[in-house]
Amino acid sequence: MSAGLLHVHIPKVRTLVLVWLALICLTGLTTGASYVDLGWMNIVVALLIAVSKASLVAWIFMGVRNTTTLTKLFVVAGLVWLGIMILITFSDYSSRTWTYQAQPWATNPAGGTSR
């Protein structure tokens, strides 16, 4: 096989280390954000951090940055599909009007322990 037909891009070690450090920092940020009460913004912050980490992994470690346009199209299609699923789930959840009611087994005299 000719060397011109097979081209594999290998990222520099410096790039890999910097991305790894960024992922470690973002993991620490996720942990720190879990201790802060932001109300309804907690889920938004968590999702933004998760999308950032997933983007770094896909773009650098999985090599999407150096692949064909068709591969990038499939990555975008997967993200669009994920967005559709999140939107459908949120619309179903937000349209419900039920409230939580304790179940009978949650208030038994045994306190939930087995006999």
pLDDT on residue 111:
57
Instruction: List the Cα angle 62/77/61 in 5-degree steps.
Output: 10
d(CA 49, CA 27): 8
Mean pLDDT of all residues belonging to the chain: 85
d(CA 29, CA 92): 30
Higher pLDDT, 50 or 101: 50
d(CA 68, CA 17): 25
pLDDT on residue 2:
54
Q: What is the pLDDT of residues 2-39, one digit of tens each?
A: 555 667 788 899 999 999 999 999 999 999 999 999 98
Mean predicted confidence (pLDDT) in 58-73: 90
Residue boundaries of the structural domains of the chain? 1-66, 68-97
pLDDT on residue 70:
93
Q: What is the pLDDT of residues 76-87, one digit of tens each?
A: 999 899 999 989
